[in-house]
Amino acid sequence: MSAGPLSGAPREVRIGGGLGLAALLGIPQGAKGLVIFAHGSGSGRLSPRNNHVAACLREDGMATLLLDLLTPGEEQDRRNVFDIALLATRLRLAADWAAEQPETRDLRPCYFGASTGGGAALRAAADDPRIAAVVSRGGRPDLAGADALGRVTAPTLLIVGERDGPVIELNTAAYHAMHCAREMAIVPGAGHLFEEPGTLDQVVALASAWFRHHLGET
């Protein structure tokens, strides 16, 4: 990774050695933590919703890393999109990479997962004391598996839309399978994708407050 001035504007980097996973890294001045994004349903670093969330988090003083969890070749096999173990491995790889870079090694890592990425983020956080916090947006934390959920120590916030009934039930079950500090927030009027006016901004506010609190800020 080439060195450059710290700024909030994201730039392209490559992680994972020979894998060369494409990623967007943005570091605002004075950042305390690094939020690593786990996208869902095969979307990657260019996900419009996650880029919106990432931009808001950077404005609130957090560094962000949005990466493609799969290589272009792997994306051709749709089974990989739902391979939670594989996706979790890639998230751990991103956390390892960040720990080795001069610009990010002093930033505590957090995960933000969406849809199936919620399950991958929690699977990756299991038994990893480095992770400061996890937020799942409209996620499938159940896909992490009950065993992994029980081994997550990072404080976790599960955000679900009020109109996303089946996913509320799955998040509730995952909540009860976990033993870490955790909360579940229901966003009024929101569906699975949080496309309704103002609902994604509510997600941002909830996520930012959660990350800042567990990174030691008020």
How many Å from the N-terminal Cα to the C-terminal Cα in the chain? 32
Q: Calculate ∠ Cα 15-131-24, nearest 5°.
A: 30
Look up residue 35 and give its two tokens: 């939020």
Look up residue 152 and give its two tokens: 């997550």
What pLDDT, on a 0 to 100 scale, did the predictor assign at position 16? 83
Strands 134-137 and 108-114 turn out to be parallel
What pLDDT, on a 0 to 100 scale, did the predictor assign at position 22? 93
Strands 63-67 and 108-114 turn out to be unpaired
> Nearest to residue 184, comparing CAs of 146, 125, 141?
141
Q: pLDDT digit string (tens) for 126-165?
A: 999 999 999 999 999 999 999 999 999 999 999 999 999 9
> How many angstroms from the chain centroid is the CA of residue 205?
15
> Nearest to residue 192, comparing CAs of 106, 115, 95, 107?
115
Averaged pLDDT in 10-residue chunks for the chain of 218 residues: 53 90 96 92 81 95 95 88 94 97 97 95 97 96 97 98 96 98 98 94 97 87
Strands in 21-26's sheet, in edge-to-edge order, are 11-15, 21-26, 63-67, 33-38, 108-114, 134-137, 156-161, 182-187
Domains of the chain as residue ranges with CATH:
11-214 (3.40.50.1820)
What pLDDT, on a 0 to 100 scale, did the predictor assign at position 2? 34
What pLDDT, on a 0 to 100 scale, did the predictor assign at position 42? 63
Question: How far apart are the C-alpha atoms of 151 and 129, rounded to whole Å?
Answer: 10
